[in-house]
Amino acid sequence: MTQRYLLSSLLMICGFYILTAQKELPFEQIKVQVNTYKNDIRGPYKDIRWFCTDGSVRAPKDPCPENIGPGVQHARYKDEVVALGKAHHIYLGQILAYTTKEEFWDKEADHSRLKQYQLDKYLRTVDNGWINQKGQFYRGAVQVEDEESWGVDFYKWLVSKDEVLEQNYFLIRQSLRDVPHSGDDNISQLMRSQSKVISDAYLPFMDLRVKIHSLPEKSDIQKVIDFKQKNSAKLTSDLNKKLDGLVLTMRDFFAPVDVKKRVDKATLAKTGPLGDKLKNYADFVNPTLPSSMLVSETAALLLDIREGILSEKNPVVRLQLLDISLKLEEILFQNAQKWEPNTVSEQLEKICALGTAVTGAGYLELWEWDQITSTLSQSEKEELSLAELTTILETARGAVEWSAAMVKANYQNIVDAYTGFEPKAYGFIDDRIRGSIALHLGKSVGELGDFIAKESELTNKVMDIPNQSSFRGLNPGYAFGELVVIGGSSEDIEVSSDKIYIFQRSPSDLKPVAGIATVAEGNMVSHVQLLARNLGIPNAALSDENLQSLKKYDGQRVFYAVSNKGNVILKPEAQMTAQERELFAKKERNTDKIEVPIEEIRLDNTSVLNMRNVDASDSGELCGPKAANLGQLKKMFPEQVVEGLVIPFGIFRDHMDQNMPGQNVSYWRFLNEMFAEAEKMRSANVPDPEVENFQLRQLETLRAAIKKMPLKESFLSELETSFIKILGKDLGSIPVFLRSDTNMEDLKDFTGAGLNLTLFNVLDKEKILNGVKEVWASPYTERSFKWRQKYLLNPENVFPSILVIPSVDVDYSGVLITKGINSGNDKDLTVAFSRGAGGAVDGQSAETYTIKHDGGYRLLAPAREIYYNSLPETGGTGKKTASFEQPVLNNKNLEAIRDLATTIRKKLPKETKSDYEGAYDVELGFEDNKLWLFQIRPFVENKKAVSSGYLEYITPKIDGSKSISLSTKLQ
């Protein structure tokens, strides 16, 4: 299971009103505005004015008089541009000199205006000026010298704040590429943009464009020149000019960086705490140095600057150091590809150096590097076992993924917003990643992966695409169906249960599919992952590059399999073996389904229950497993479990006996008649899709009726009394969670995790009462119905109870699995946590560890979520922003989790008189370092997928103890 581990997800929980509901953005209106500005000689601007220091605004020919001091001249925005910013926080054509520092930093909106400025600069390079296609020639609209002067003042103000620089090192450093401050232009981005513009206009240039985007080399300059000569007869004069411009840009990009000149210019930095290191490096660097030495020394200085910049208190020096840092990354980008390792030892050395570099450049946080540096620093050893090398590979691959995730975490929200009205914006993140040193780290890790794959015979077979070692199986299983490759957002995609999907990120409410693979698969213990694992749906992680390579196969029928050890097969239907075809020769039906047990269910109990009075023995009888198990935990851990009340199955069933408006039958009768009619349709050989559509239409009617169902007075009275007696406050004066808790959850072979509704932090009395009905209706949603139809024989016998517990505004929360999912060791623990409430279970990019049974722990992934949920006392959910410079969990938390797992393993089977010997899935959180328990359930895996003869057949037998000399040649 060494290949099966967490890829950092980039699910963004939207944090300010523009992005909380992007559908509310008037995309069509903005699109019209953008197209109008593209053809307007003034672009987004209406006129030019003088802006004087006394606040007065004067006409262009009436400059600010000397007696009030100098002013600045620039354009004013069109009125509709101003209105767009005020109404929707979208700022087009920003002029820095027209903006205050605080407005531009835009802290309350996650620095949206700064990011929009960067995105605007990118769009201008790939789309001939974008909204300023004609306006770029509007003389006087923007004064370069004023913009640069403003930029210097802005950065001196910004980097003087220690906390801001520490928390936003990556963003600030990235912004220096775009915000003018008397520094240099972003030449690497310009080079990629120019090549894209040329290939869009002239398709034969595509191969060269791909090369320049993927891994540019100095020799590519001559290739562009040769291309121009070879195609001269077909090129327009405009294309000839563009090719000449690209050649000039490439020559600038590959021109040697004069570090000594740069250091000499930074006179103040030379006398600061990092002065000696800067001078020594400048004296050391020369053109004769071996590339390996140059890369290693440059990476070390890059990290030194990152670690030491806060010790320098002068903001001017900090700005100089950041500019030097960018130049050092240019040197690394130019020289990393020249370092061609011959042996495993040299490959490990290069990976460690480039890992140092991405940390120094801000793509990894310093604490993250501390967690993995000892694993990556083993190149001087004489030999390592195959298992040890595989651990190094997984760790290095993680560093690549975390680096890409850092870019996505910072920019995905604003890119998604802009993509709604300008599709070209979607290329921004890819452009940033390709312009980073992480690109070279990824290449080196891929080469190590290829070597280890040969040694272990753990080789992926994914169509004919390159860099297949980036694929990693997450859940074993096999599938056959149409391949669907989704490169953009997946939230509005209607999925089909017989198709195989490749996602950037799977939808948050994923319905059943045949198979999935994701670039950002969230975390291994999210509800979607647990359901996929439960149902044996093959699931893998892949890289952005892999997804792009697979696009050409979109729509083809393919066979897809993930083995028990995580190797991946994806092949066209025509290449399937007889054994693989036999897997799908006949459609499996009820033989793989289970029955919801209802023999012991007690529907006669129609009283609200105190959670203290229920325990595990009541699961499936009075209530679902959430309430029963939490009641059990309350007995075992009274100080770590909140009080709670339970609305049992009987109250739901009692209400369902009421007459259903407009149907002349009760709600319950309507439901059962629907299932009976569906069975008649099947007996009459009505096609399954038609039967399913009938059921979904009927369930939609039922669901809407339940939400309007009158609640009985006896129930309302008892609920009011129970709030006071059990929770200590009146109904409507304490915020609570309403958790759906059905009898179809946590069955022996089916988890049902996350299928039904949980309402967060509800305070208002009417919202709580309406919430009861919404939770009752949630098992009849399309998603919930489809998942259980896939697995249950009697889906009509699903009864919801409701667990009502007071909210705990935890600092961070997540999931504990009492098993090492990544390590494959049943004695280890898997922990995934995110900041705020509801952490990890909804698929956020979670901080994930293997806590080892013999002591210590291993970081599998850091959290990369900018926004997280808070639970204010006023009800509802608030949004807070996170930074990544500190881990979510501290050592004290990890030890508390270890102790908790030990107690659960020892006491829970005994307390519940259970013979269950498997792992547990526990939801928990920390508030001021106090551990709170919210749920416990069996951790269910699909035994058929894990034990499948075919999956065992394609799983190579790996000798992890195999010794490999590090002097072994790579090829």
Coil, helix or strand at residue 245? helix
Q: What is the mean pLDDT of residues 404-419?
A: 93
SS (H, E, C) 541-574: ECCHHHHHHHHHHCCCEEEEEECCCCCEEEEEHH
* Structure-token match 């605007």, residue found: 120
Binned at pLDDT 50, 70 and 90, residue 482 comes out as very high
With a cut of 60, say whether residue 590 has pLDDT above it. Answer: no
What integer pLDDT is reported at residue 900 of this predicted model?
A: 95
Do 415 and 428 touch, CB atoms closer than 8 A?
Answer: yes
State what percent of residues in the chain have pLDDT above 70.
89
Task: Report the alpha-carbon distance of residue 777 to residue 226 in Å, rounded.
Answer: 67
Helix/strand number for the chain, H first, E second: 35, 26
Task: Report the alpha-carbon distance of residue 390 to residue 410 in Å, rounded.
Answer: 30
Structure tokens that stand for 154 in this block = 């802005």
User: Which tens digit of pLDDT belongs to each residue from 769-799?
Assistant: 999 999 999 888 887 787 666 666 667 778 8
Nearest to 39 by CA among 147, 130, 175: 130
Torsion angle defined by CA atoms of residues 257, 261, 266 and 270, in that order, rounded to the nearest 10 degrees: 110
Structure tokens that stand for 256 in this block = 């040697």
Task: Report the alpha-carbon distance of residue 708 to residue 777 in Å, rounded.
Answer: 10
Nearest to 295 by CA among 255, 237, 354: 354
Task: State which H helix or E strand residue 291 sits in.
Answer: helix 291-308
Burial 697-735 (b: 16+ CB within 10 A, else e): ebbeebbebbeebeeeeebeebbeebbeebbeeebbebb
Q: Tell which wins on pLDDT, 890 or 184.
A: 890
Do 263 and 274 touch, CB atoms closer than 8 A?
Answer: no
Phi, psi of 814 (to 5 degrees): 175, -150
What integer pLDDT is reported at residue 593 of this predicted model?
A: 63
- Cα separation of the two ends of the chain: 26
Task: Report the alpha-carbon distance of residue 297 to residue 357 in Å, rounded.
Answer: 10
* DSSP-assigned beta bridge partners for residue 646: 609, 803
Do 623 and 741 touch, CB atoms closer than 8 A?
Answer: yes
* DSSP-assigned beta bridge partners for residue 572: 558
Structure tokens that stand for 117 in this block = 């400025």
With a cut of 50, say whether residue 403 has pLDDT above it. Answer: yes
Binned at pLDDT 50, 70 and 90, residue 459 comes out as confident
Q: Of 348-362, 575-589, 733-747, where does mean pLDDT reach its minimum? A: 575-589
Do 450 and 469 touch, CB atoms closer than 8 A?
Answer: yes
Task: Report the alpha-carbon distance of residue 25 to residue 34 in Å, rounded.
Answer: 14
Q: What is the mean pLDDT of residues 520-542?
A: 68
Residues ≥6 apart with Cβ < 8 Å to 721: none
Binned at pLDDT 50, 70 and 90, residue 689 comes out as confident
What integer pLDDT is reported at residue 267 of this predicted model?
A: 67
Do 748 and 594 touch, CB atoms closer than 8 A?
Answer: yes
Q: In whole numbers, what is the pLDDT of the chain averaged over residues?
A: 87
Q: What is the mean pLDDT of residues 147-164?
A: 95
| Region at 511 (left for phi over 0; alpha for psi -120 to 50; beta for the rest) | beta
* Structure-token match 């509709």, residue found: 80
Question: For strand 867-870 and strand 878-881, is the pairing parallel, antiparallel, or unpaired?
Answer: antiparallel
* DSSP-assigned beta bridge partners for residue 804: 645, 738
Task: State which H helix or E strand residue 142 sits in.
Answer: none
Coil, helix or strand at residue 644? coil
User: Which tens digit of pLDDT belongs to each residue from 71-129?
Assistant: 899 999 999 999 999 999 999 999 999 999 999 999 999 999 999 999 999 999 899 89
What integer pLDDT is reported at residue 128 of this predicted model?
A: 87
Coil, helix or strand at residue 641? coil
Q: What is the mean pLDDT of residues 42-46?
A: 95
Burial 609-643 (b: 16+ CB within 10 A, else e): bbbbebbbebbbbbbbbbbbbbbbbbebbeebbbe
What integer pLDDT is reported at residue 564 of this predicted model?
A: 80
What integer pLDDT is reported at residue 776 of this predicted model?
A: 95
With a cut of 80, say whether residue 419 has pLDDT above it. Answer: yes
User: Which tens digit of pLDDT belongs to each residue from 295-311?
Assistant: 999 999 999 999 999 99
Do 492 and 416 touch, CB atoms closer than 8 A?
Answer: no
What integer pLDDT is reported at residue 754 of this predicted model?
A: 53
Do 366 and 359 touch, CB atoms closer than 8 A?
Answer: yes
What integer pLDDT is reported at residue 520 of this predicted model?
A: 64
Q: Which one of 55-69, 370-384, 496-510, 612-626 scores highest in mean pLDDT?
A: 370-384
Tell me the HSE value of 81 on the side-chain side, using a 13 A CA sphere.
19
With a cut of 50, say whether residue 9 has pLDDT above it. Answer: no
Q: What is the mean pLDDT of residues 150-157?
A: 96
Binned at pLDDT 50, 70 and 90, residue 270 comes out as low
Phi, psi of 877 (to 5 degrees): -120, 140
Q: What is the mean pLDDT of residues 150-159?
A: 96
CA 917 to the chain's CA centroid: 33
- In this prediction the pTM is 0.81
Q: Of 446-460, 703-717, 862-876, 944-958, where does mean pLDDT reach its minimum? A: 944-958
* DSSP-assigned beta bridge partners for residue 502: 485, 517
Q: What is the mean pLDDT of residues 247-264?
A: 78
Q: Tell which wins on pLDDT, 778 or 266.
A: 778
What integer pLDDT is reported at residue 511 of this predicted model?
A: 74
Binned at pLDDT 50, 70 and 90, residue 20 comes out as very low
* Cross-sheet strand order for the sheet of 72-77: 57-58, 45-51, 72-77
User: Which ranges of 686-834 would DSSP assign to H, the alpha helix?
Assistant: 688-707, 713-722, 765-777, 782-791
With a cut of 50, say whether residue 19 has pLDDT above it. Answer: no
Task: Report the alpha-carbon distance of residue 777 to residue 701 in Å, rounded.
Answer: 11
Binned at pLDDT 50, 70 and 90, residue 170 comes out as very high
* Structure-token match 């985007």, residue found: 213
Binned at pLDDT 50, 70 and 90, residue 725 comes out as very high
The DSSP code for 181 is S
Structure tokens that stand for 85 in this block = 């910013």
Residue 780 burial by Cβ neighbours in a 10 Å radius (0-12, 13-18, 19+): buried
Binned at pLDDT 50, 70 and 90, residue 3 comes out as very low
Structure tokens that stand for 675 in this block = 């299932």
Phi, psi of 442 (to 5 degrees): -60, -40
Task: Report the alpha-carbon distance of residue 14 to residue 818 in Å, rounded.
Answer: 31
* Structure-token match 């799983």, residue found: 955
Task: Report the alpha-carbon distance of residue 353 to residue 50 in Å, rounded.
Answer: 51
CA 449 to the chain's CA centroid: 23
Task: Report the alpha-carbon distance of residue 705 to residue 703 in Å, rounded.
Answer: 5
User: Which tens digit of pLDDT belongs to each residue from 877-927?
Assistant: 888 999 999 999 999 999 999 999 999 999 888 888 888 888 998 999 999
Task: Report the alpha-carbon distance of residue 250 to residue 216 in Å, rounded.
Answer: 9
What integer pLDDT is reported at residue 653 of this predicted model?
A: 95
State what percent of residues in the chain have pLDDT above 90.
57
Task: Report the alpha-carbon distance of residue 320 to residue 841 in Å, rounded.
Answer: 43
Torsion angle defined by CA atoms of residues 428, 434, 435 and 438, in that order, rounded to the nearest 10 degrees: 130
* DSSP-assigned beta bridge partners for residue 486: 503
Structure tokens that stand for 742 in this block = 């059905």
SS (H, E, C) 828-874: CEEEEEEECCCCCCCCCCCEEEEECCCCCEEEEECCCCCEEEECCCC
Tell me the HSE value of 950 on the side-chain side, using a 13 A CA sphere.
20
User: Which tens digit of pLDDT belongs to each residue from 488-516?
Assistant: 776 667 788 889 999 887 776 677 789 98
Question: For strand 72-77 and strand 45-51, is the pairing parallel, antiparallel, or unpaired?
Answer: antiparallel
What integer pLDDT is reported at residue 8 of this predicted model?
A: 26
